Structure 1
């Protein structure tokens, strides 16, 4: 009879296995290295606990620390609620012992504001020189006097807060990277005097005029709100032989959208057309109905017959009809 009972008992264990209980001792104090606090950082697990269950429980997030060197207190009941919510399959397998609450602190160090300022200045230097802008930094204002980050490898990466445009003040954001993760961002406001090279018209130019040498000069002038964004004509691009798109007053600055390449054919221009028929090349004069560049198709009209037909631009003032 006893043997029969023992066999049934053993059989029941294999069919209905008892879930292993994991015992974890809650620490009184814990020092963490990131804002996201996991269960593994605030408890000590029983050495005999199943490793897979310990790993799953240990990854459970139990708190978020917002400030460096400012302790927070986490109650054991709060931890159990979070485990039940995030790990419902394991909620009955954890038993907390030890302290009734743990005090957590994100230990860190103070970052000198001079280091933040140097990162912002170096970034501005590279950014403005890349755009060929001469400048002088009058002053820098850092939005925080006390900058704290967790202990670890700190990297500073600067970026523009907004696209660069005409302004006497530029905001640079310096990201504080700790352990390859952005911990915080500091805004640095830079008061700047900028000098830029620009082309200036020496006489009044009308829309449609082709710019000639002597119609412009290279000048340097303060970069201020009257100069729209950084849309100046690049000083590597000489305006000579470009066509003016709008009226430009004498002493006015050239912007990119003020000029455009001169088309190979312009509207209402008399152009030579090559007509190939039965191997015979015939040339005659037609009127272009629109502007166009090399290789483009445009409509032309025959002044003798008022007929319109498409033609391909093959050179300045020349089109071809096949």
Structure 2
């Protein structure tokens, strides 16, 4: 093998071909590598060790992916003659200039949006139950990267994802970073939320007649109610205008025991259950601990509200 290449190099150096070699320049050529070789832009009339060695000669650096450049055949001939003595017997022909286009993968804004969308879909467990989409603030102009194994890495600006105001988009070809982009924008999460159909005052009890579901972006809402049934019968802790979304922090269960109300007191000790009558010393919501005065002993005791008019002694 070493002898073979030595003979080829010797042949190039002394320029003694076995016949008049014909080399014809192509009018245009497509390349995919970083450098243009002679074999990319010419045709040889024979296929042998000599022409294969010539074909590997680097002529110029390739244009950027998706770009083109023009090469003058005369300049290439001079370069080859400077390296060899092929001019004595070589016949040069073909196009006076060669248009060389470097193949690449065209990256357009829609592809970037799709990749961010795929990222959001793959991380939906970290996002609210809603229709999620990315709304870009600005996108780069289309560009090209070399052909190869294309991979994408998407990095949100916020660990919570939904609060992100931009995404880093890293594009690799064959494991090498080709582009590192910063795409501004926001996450939009459209969901059915509970809103007031009429103006509601603080203290109003939620009923099916004064609420309905509306589709809205919930990304900037604190904790919107997404289920009508979850707030029916609850009381508003603040006033809400008609059409406004109701947050879960805006409602609470109303008291089911009122101050001064007669209540039934349950005392449970193992299998023994005792009852007594008492008077609520304060309002009480479900599972809330309130003070109750025993009607018989006149003692104040602490009880948990378990149902309307029913409390249980905490032991």
Q: Which structure has the larger Rg over C-alpha atoms?
A: 2
